[in-house]
């Protein structure tokens, strides 16, 4: 192995390590919560908002052609929310851009993530996976007061 090859191998190892650690740093500094896929033995078929206490909520979303159920939810500022998403028909997206929430609603499965809403406002939910003719009107809203 000549000197140039050794240099290229060393450089590629260093670059890989830098990229790997920058992902770890970005993940912790943005507090990114990677969505998990829950084995769905008992899939729910209707959306609901469950208040565990004043600032702890579980929101169960059903994404279907072409709406989110529930369409609109109001929660208090500072709420920690477990978001559950499923679909009875085709694959949909579940995106809350300002909270860095990016999940898929997959038939036969439940996707879950946890988010804290620490600022008041309206948080639009959009479907970001093409799901048919009226994909573009598929929206919901979380209102934080």
Contact footprint for ligand CUA (CB under 6 A): 63, 66, 92-93, 127, 129-131, 135, 138
- Nearest approach in angstroms of CB 66 to ligand CUA is 6
Measured from the CB atom, the residue of 112 and 128 that comes closer to ligand CUA is 128
- 3-state SS string for the chain: CCHHHHHHHHHHHHHHHHHHHHHHHHHHHCCCCCCEEECCCCCCCCCEEEEEECCEEEEEEEEECCEEECCEEEECCCEEEEEEEEECCCCEEEEEHHHCEEEEECECCEEEEEEEECCCEEEEEECCCCCCCCHHHCEEEEEEC
- Nearest approach in angstroms of CB 92 to ligand CUA is 4
Measured from the CB atom, the residue of 58 and 126 that comes closer to ligand CUA is 126
- Nearest approach in angstroms of CB 85 to ligand CUA is 11
Measured from the CB atom, the residue of 51 and 97 that comes closer to ligand CUA is 97
User: Is the omega angle on the peptide bond into residue 66 within 30 degrees of 0, that is, cis?
Assistant: yes
- Nearest approach in angstroms of CB 132 to ligand CUA is 7
Measured from the CB atom, the residue of 62 and 73 that comes closer to ligand CUA is 62
């Amino acid at each position: 192995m000549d000197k140039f090859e050794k240099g290229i191998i060393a450089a590629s190892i260093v670059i890989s390590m830098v990229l790997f650690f920058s992902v770890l740093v970005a993940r912790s500094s943005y507090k990114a919560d990677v969505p998990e896929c829950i084995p769905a033995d008992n899939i729910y078929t209707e959306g609901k908002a469950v208040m565990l206490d004043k600032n702890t909520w579980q929101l169960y979303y059903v994404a279907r052609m072409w709406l989110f159920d529930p369409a609109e939810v109001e929660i208090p500022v500072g709420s920690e929310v477990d978001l559950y998403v499923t679909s009875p028909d085709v694959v949909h997206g579940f995106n809350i851009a300002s909270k860095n929430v990016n999940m898929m609603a997959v038939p036969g499965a439940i996707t879950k993530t946890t988010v804290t809403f620490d600022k008041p406002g309206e948080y639009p939910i959009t479907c970001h996976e093409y799901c048919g003719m009226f994909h573009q009107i598929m929206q919901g809203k979380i209102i934080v007061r």
